[in-house]
Amino acid sequence: MIELYHTNMSVCSQKVRFALAEKKLRWEDHHINLQAGEQLRPEYLKLNPNAVVPTLVDNGTVIIESLCSSPVDWRLHTRAVAY
């Protein structure tokens, strides 16, 4: 299951939503309210220590850079980075 932590008024988040829509992938929505400082909550910082959105979690693999999830298949990319 893909989970996306994002916010509406974020171009970085929008790029990932576009990629997910393009790939016709279903995802679980976790809205982060930046104005309320939700990106600074300890549980979110465990996922993304940079305290920014988006954060994509794909079956336990955490991706915190939007560029890694839009132009390429992040599953392949993650494997490429790992080696």
Ligand X SMILES: N[C@@H](CCC(=O)N[C@@H](CS)C(=O)NCC(=O)O)C(=O)O
Span near ligand X by CB under 6 A; candidates 19-27, 62-70, 71-79:
62-70
- Which of 20, 65, 77, 78: binder of ligand X (CB under 6 A)? 65
Is residue 10 a contact residue for ligand X (CB under 6 A)? Answer: yes
- Segment (H or E) for 57: strand 55-58
Q: Which long-range contacts (CB under 8 A, 24 or more apart) does 73-77 make?
A: 73/23
80 touches ligand X by CB under 6 A: no
Residue 66 binds to ligand X (criterion: CB under 6 A): yes
Dihedral sign (CA 27, 29, 30, 35): positive
Instruction: List contacts with ligand X (CB under 6 A).
Output: 10-12, 34, 39, 52-54, 65-67
